[in-house]
Amino acid sequence: MRGVSVYTMGVLVILLCCLAAAAAAAAEGYMKYKDPKQPLNGRIKDLMKRMTLEEKIGQMTQIERANATADVVRNYFIGSVLSGGGSVPSEQASTETWINLVNGIQKGAMSTRLGIPMIYGIDAVHGHNNVYNSTIFPHNVGLGVTRDPHLMKRIGAATALEVRATGIPYTFAPCIAVCRDPRWGRCYESYSEDPNIVRKMTEIITGLQGDIPAGSRKGVPYVGGSDKIAACAKHYVGDGGTTEGINENNTVINQHGLFSIHMPGYYSAISKGVSTIMVSYTSWNGKKMHANRDLVTGFLKNKLRFRGFVISDWQGIDRITSPPHANYSYSVQAGVGAGIDMIMVPYDYTEFIDELTSQVKNNIIPMTRIDDAVRRILRVKFTMGLFEKPYADHTYVNQLGSQEHREIAREAVRKSLVLLKNGKSKNKPLLPLPKKAPKILIAGTHADNLGYQCGGWTITWQGLNGNNHTRGTTILKAIKNTVDPATQVVYSENPDSSLLKSNKFSYAIVVVGEPAYAETFGDSLNLTIPDQGINTINNVCGVVKCLVVLISGRPVVIQPYLPAMDALVAAWLPGTEGQGVADVLFGDYGFTGKLARTWFKSADQLPMNVGDKHYDPLFPFGFGLTTKPTKKY
């Protein structure tokens, strides 16, 4: 370049260097993964190439709220936090307390080098059931009776709003188990013994997450905005088919049986864009599901092309061995190697992180497996909009326990009731009951007990006894709300013979059933209700014209007492809106419910399901008497 001095050349070189440095700095400052305008896969790829092994393993780790401080989340790059059953920031915590809890933990995640938001999960399995003042919907055993997918979608949408009211974006629901033996303590979490009904009821997923956009690829997770939450189909697969209904036991069935009975719900869940799938504690023909690579990676991920993340159950990988945690190195290798992406290690998270890190560094678990897990977790987080809106706000606080949601729950109660007997002869039906009567008797352990009415997974893991734990309407209160003001309502939990004989009752309503329970604590080989309930049926129905309302998580032994009853209603576990029971008993609405489960004569017949060769039930699958409403709308 003639005519340009050495000095000028030097200045030009310096300027060019400065411009290059500025461009490099700008490029470094721009992080593609933080740009919502970028394609999803591009954002995931950009973020993953920036992540260290430590950050990736942190994403795969889910810990319990009780030890999830902001510092722990920041220091270990924790990807997810959960509330176990009954794990709350304080008793009767307000929405504000919940939001502050979630945001306090999130601050730890957002202050890390890459600012990857954590995802908070909770068991909102029949409404936002851990939370005081929430709407508690009927448990799944009752909802299956309705066979109403549109109702399920509305329940899902209402639940999503109530979960968002507390700042939480993820629920471990729905349970799409096909309970084939009511001796199982989780049978009330199953919609039916019939996989076709279970498939139909997966419509709750579109309520929780939103409708997937037209033309979406099958298997891709979807969450449609800040009023929706990520869902989790569980427990993959065969959890409802264990020997003798024993929780976490072995499901002995051939491949055709597993795929035709227990798998169809997952086809529907995946086609609806479910974000996550939880693996079952159970085994299939002796092989632990948490270690079953063929079914988790081979079938679920590769064959069904599920693109969300697979999560373990609570301490699920520990239970690969018997006793649990007997060989933790093997459990980590088997569980992560099987294809589980997020590991629920509520307490001993440092042990898990150290063990998995060691196995990756020693080439026991390949880096490709870690990258698959993290890619899936990030896909769900990006899809949910967590990167754009990591913090909870107060937008939906007025949705918790709203009247609108309680009305949906009340409708669900009405539609879930099954009328099993109506009058000692067909010509003399007892129901609908007259609202105008001089004096009526209400009796039984469950007539005025909101805890029993809601069942397990309500406020605490195992559920509660009594009326002081959350807000709702007991069946007794609902009856008092419904009958004529001039009708005298006498309530006695267990009336003695003198009360029964000295008072002239027009009729009696006896409300009895099972106490609250969950999971293993609910396993029962005899399926009897407590003696006090039986005694009340015998005492009252022997003297007064009586209707028995049964509150239970499954069919129970009732045949010996049936002749004494004038009428029998299966009300399952109706939740907080007991008014829905009274709506139908007194004829404001008709009975429409049809059994979604076979009702056995004797527990010795179990397991017995519709279609079996030796099918001899007390009430068959699909049975349910109907009545017409006495009130016109």
* CA 117 to centroid of chain Cα atoms: 23
Helix or strand or coil: residue 191?
A: coil
Torsion angle (degrees, nearest 10) of CA 528, 534, 537, 540: 180
- Tell me which residue has tokens 């734990």: 469
Distance CA(510)–CA(303), nearest Å, equals 52
Q: What is the DSSP string of 10-44?
A: HHHHHHHHHHHHHHHHHHHH--GGG-TTS-HHHHH
Q: Which of 123, 194, 248, 313 is catalytic?
A: 313
* Largest separation between any pair of C-alpha atoms in the chain: 125
Asked if 176 contacts 264 with a C-beta cutoff of 8 angstroms, the reply is no
Alpha-carbon distance of 368 to 56, in angstroms, equals 12
Q: Is 612 annotated as catalytic?
A: no
Q: How open is the CA angle 516-192-186, to the nearest 5 degrees?
A: 30
In angstroms, the CA 229 to CA 586 distance is 37
d(CA 187, CA 56): 37
Instruction: Please report which residue ranges of 323-387 form alpha helices under DSSP H.
Output: 328-338, 349-361, 367-384
Q: Which residue has the tokens 């979406």?
A: 216
Are β-strands 546-551 and 170-171 bridged in parallel, bridged antiparallel, or unpaired? unpaired
CB 35 within 8 A of CB 382: no
Q: Is 96 a catalytic residue?
A: no
**Active-site annotation holder among 123, 203, 239, 519:** 519
Do the beta carbons of residue 507 and residue 544 sit within 8 Å?
yes
**Residues acting as catalytic residues:** 313, 519
